[in-house]
Amino acid sequence: MAPAKETPDRACTQERLEGVLGLPQRSVEAAPKHLIIVDGAIMQPIPEHPKRDYIFCLSTAFGDAYLFQAPCQVELENWVNSIHSACAAAFARHRGKTGTLHLLQEEIFRLEKNIETVSI
């Protein structure tokens, strides 16, 4: 599969995302105009959006939800994977190896309990 053609808008957007997430930037750019705190956020594609294709949603721990549109399916998957990876890396740095495993087990237990409560 050939790589997607990089347009100036897409490159600019990707560089801003890389800067916000603390990933290495490809070029020097001005500071981001907006900042979304992704600590504890949930990121997921929205394939059933009624009017647009390649939509994904970022729901923050503060209850805010942001919808974004990617230019294609591959780019959508790249955005979702990049944000998931950045969040996981930040999480692991804060907790250490043992703490991360314990915290993930607690979180899984909490989520399963919430699912049981909601389904009753």
Residues 69 and 45 sit within 8 Å (Cβ to Cβ): no
In a domain, 18, yes or no: no
Alpha-helical (H) ranges within the chain are 8-21, 73-119
For residue 83, the domain's CATH number is: 2.30.29.30
Structure pTM? 0.51
Looking at the 3D structure of the chain, how many domains does it have? 1
Find all residues with CB under 8 Å of 62, minimum gap 6, and list them: 37
In a domain, 74, yes or no: yes
Residuewise pLDDT in 10s, the chain (120 residues): 334 444 444 444 455 555 555 545 555 567 778 888 877 788 888 888 888 999 999 888 889 999 999 999 999 989 888 888 887 777 777 766 667 777 778 888 888 888 887 766
Q: How far apart are CA 63 and CA 21, in angstroms?
A: 20
